[in-house]
Amino acid sequence: AKLPPASLYNTSGRVTPDVAAVGTCYKVFSGGGPVGTLSGTSASTPTFAGMISRINDERAAKGKPTVGFVNPVLYKAGGSVGTDIVSGNNKKIACKAGFPATPGFDAVTGLGTPLWGRLHTLLDA
What ranges do the domains of the chain cover? 22-122
93 marked as part of a ligand binding site? no
The string of pLDDT tens digits covering residues 14-43 is 777 889 998 888 888 999 999 999 888 888
pLDDT of 12 reads 77
Binding site annotation covers 85?
Answer: yes
Instruction: Answer yes or no: is 55 a known binding residue.
Output: no
- The residues near 26 (Cβ < 8 Å, ≥ 6 apart) are 37, 38, 39, 43, 47
CA 28/CA 3 separation, integer angstroms: 36
Q: How far apart are CA 35 and CA 99, in angstroms?
A: 33
Residue 124 marked ligand-binding = no
Task: Give the long-range contacts of residues 99-104, CB within 8 A, separation 24 or more.
Answer: 99/3, 99/4, 99/9, 104/79
pLDDT digits 0-9 by tens, 34-93: 999 988 888 888 889 999 999 999 999 999 999 999 999 999 998 899 999 999 988 877
